[in-house]
Structure 1
Amino acid sequence: MKVNYAGTVPLSTVDWRGRAAVTIFFRGCPLRCPYCQNHPYLQGLNLVKLEFVKEQIKESKPFVSAVVFSGGEPLMQKAIIPLAEFAKEMGLSIGVHTNGYYPETASEMVKRKLVDKFFIDIKAPPDDPELYGKITGFEEYESVKKKPEQVTASVIKTLGIADSCDLELELRTTLIRDFIGSKEEITSIAAWISKHMKNEELTYVLQQGIPEHSLQKNLRELRVLEREELYELGKIAKKFLKNVRIRTKESGEEIISGSV
């Protein structure tokens, strides 16, 4: 079996808060979010043998307690199952960064106990397919095959799978000025999560997008949302959810205090 491989961070303390992890990046993604900062990984092939990636994990084992699969979109790769099995055999916890496009693979990993934490992107309100289509590049990029209502249906299904099992769960939204992250949009996302997710211990993170690194050139000149602006948006989300954080370049990860 081959892996469409993008790279490895042998020791990461940012991909799973509170854990030292080896992070494996996969190439390929079915979406084309215009603000994507990992866009070099979105397409193309760099096929390596499964054993090569296993060796990357093995070399980091003495220094980490977890492996994180990221990308790109890791759940689009069949190799994630044998790699997760290998990581479990090594005694490592497994985290998966996903956009929610592949609920069937998420379900298989849960059933086989091959995941300990999901990090799921909620790119826009799940009940607003039109906006979700804009944020995931449906109109701009021919490579996005599913219609927005199909994408949101998959995301909602993945969220349901993650919500139905006793696993750690982080949901996150990346914010770009004048593109996604208005007060109304954050209200809609947080309200949707509050209404539809049973796991009251889940964490919702508002991430500071860096426009200059965007896939789409016309976003690169936008001014980054400041830490203070994200904090105010976090306070809006906090009205609906127990655990809300913001993540910025200036101040790292911060907890939004107060009560729901």
Structure 2
Amino acid sequence: MVKSVSNITPFTLLDYPNKTACILWYAGCNMRCLYCYNPEIVFGKGKFSFPEMISFLESRKGLLDAVVFSGGECLLHKDIVEQIQTVKTMGFLVKVDTNGSKPEVLKTLIEQDLLNYVALDFKSNRESFSTITQSDLFDQFEKSLQLLLNANIPFEVRTTYHSELLAKEELHDMIDYLKYNEYTGTYYIQHFRNNVETIGQLPDSRNRLEHQLPENPNLKIMFR
């Protein structure tokens, strides 16, 4: 039996806005982001089968509002649409964390009304994308962003900032890009946490940006 989930976080108040949730961490990813905190998930194998996940979720009915599908990249898995559909029919809200590399899967989930919330990773501008992610998937990210902009689903855009990987000028470009595409949600900038194992061998990130980015009245920026 296929074991696609690497780990389960049984309870969180941080990953789905204003809801109690658990997180299913799917193994494997099609990017190799240098700052990635989860090399054991990206490179490792799953430990839990889908029936095991369902058994766990059955025990959480009435205790949790939502299930977060994360990774790695959860949308890579061939049965993910059916798995999300099953969880949705159990009465849970569904949130997906994605790097945006599988717009065709995202489109199916939107068309089948299976998503309640999406967190989309905005890794970098086009120029730095291949260096940071070790992939050539920026066009797919753009397609996913456009799908979400045109769907009636709450979603957030988020970027992990490491001072050695993204210059402040590049972040300005990314902010302008979101404004140009008429994104009106919150843009979350997540400061890299030093002293953790990552895919790339990185020096410490040194700059914090709270007071270094321009005011943008049409885009709310929050730091994590």
In which range does the TM-score fall when normalised by the shorter chain? over 0.9
CA contact (8 A) 2:34 2:132 kept: yes
Aligned to 1:99: 99
Which whole-Å deviations, capped at 9, do the CAs of 1:145-177 have from their partners, x for residues lacking one?
xxx2xx111000011111111111100000112
The aligned amino acid for 1:211 is: N
Rounded Cα–Cα distance in structure 2 between residues aligned with 1:26 and 1:7 = 7
Gaps of 5+ in 1: 139-147, 248-260
Gaps of 5+ in 2: none
The aligned amino acid for 2:209 is: L
Rounded Cα–Cα distance in structure 2 between residues aligned with 1:191 and 1:73 = 26
Which whole-Å deviations, capped at 9, do the CAs of 1:115-163 have from their partners, x for residues lacking one?
11110000112xx2x310011024xxxxxxxxx2xx1110000111111
Rounded Cα–Cα distance in structure 2 between residues aligned with 1:47 and 1:13 = 24
Using the TM superposition, give the Cα deviation of residue 77 of structure 1 relative to its aligned residue in structure 2, in angstroms: 0.9
Is 1:154 aligned to residue 126 of structure 2?
A: no
CA contact (8 A) 2:67 2:93 kept: yes
CA contact (8 A) 2:26 2:46 kept: no
Aligned to 1:206: 189
Is 1:28 aligned to residue 28 of structure 2?
A: yes
CA contact (8 A) 1:5 1:46 kept: yes
Matches within 5 A, 1:170-249: 170-180=156-166, 182-197=167-182, 199-200=183-184, 202-216=185-199, 218-219=201-202, 221-225=203-207, 229-233=208-212, 235-236=213-214, 238-239=215-216, 241-247=218-224
Which whole-Å deviations, capped at 9, do the CAs of 1:73-121 have from their partners, x for residues lacking one?
0000123222211221122111100000100110010011111111000
Larger RCO, structures 1/2 (Cα 8 Å, 6+ apart): 2
CA contact (8 A) 1:54 1:83 kept: no
Q: 1:168 aligns with which of 137, 147, 154?
A: 154
Rounded Cα–Cα distance in structure 1 between residues aligned with 2:18 and 2:131 = 33
Over the residues paired in the alignment, what is the CA RMSD in angstroms?
A: 1.8
TM-score (norm 1): 0.80
CA contact (8 A) 1:209 1:224 kept: no
Which whole-Å deviations, capped at 9, do the CAs of 1:195-222 have from their partners, x for residues lacking one?
113x42x221000111322424531x41
TM-score (norm 2): 0.92
CA contact (8 A) 1:174 1:209 kept: yes
Using the TM superposition, give the Cα deviation of residue 47 of structure 1 relative to its aligned residue in structure 2, in angstroms: 5.5
Rounded Cα–Cα distance in structure 1 between residues aligned with 2:113 and 2:143 = 18
Deviating 4+ runs (over 4 angstroms): none
Rounded Cα–Cα distance in structure 2 between residues aligned with 1:153 and 1:66 = 30
Is 1:41 aligned to residue 24 of structure 2?
A: no
Rounded Cα–Cα distance in structure 1 between residues aligned with 2:76 and 2:12 = 23
Rounded Cα–Cα distance in structure 2 between residues aligned with 1:2 and 1:113 = 26
Rounded Cα–Cα distance in structure 2 between residues aligned with 1:21 and 1:189 = 30
Using the TM superposition, give the Cα deviation of residue 240 of structure 1 relative to its aligned residue in structure 2, in angstroms: 5.9
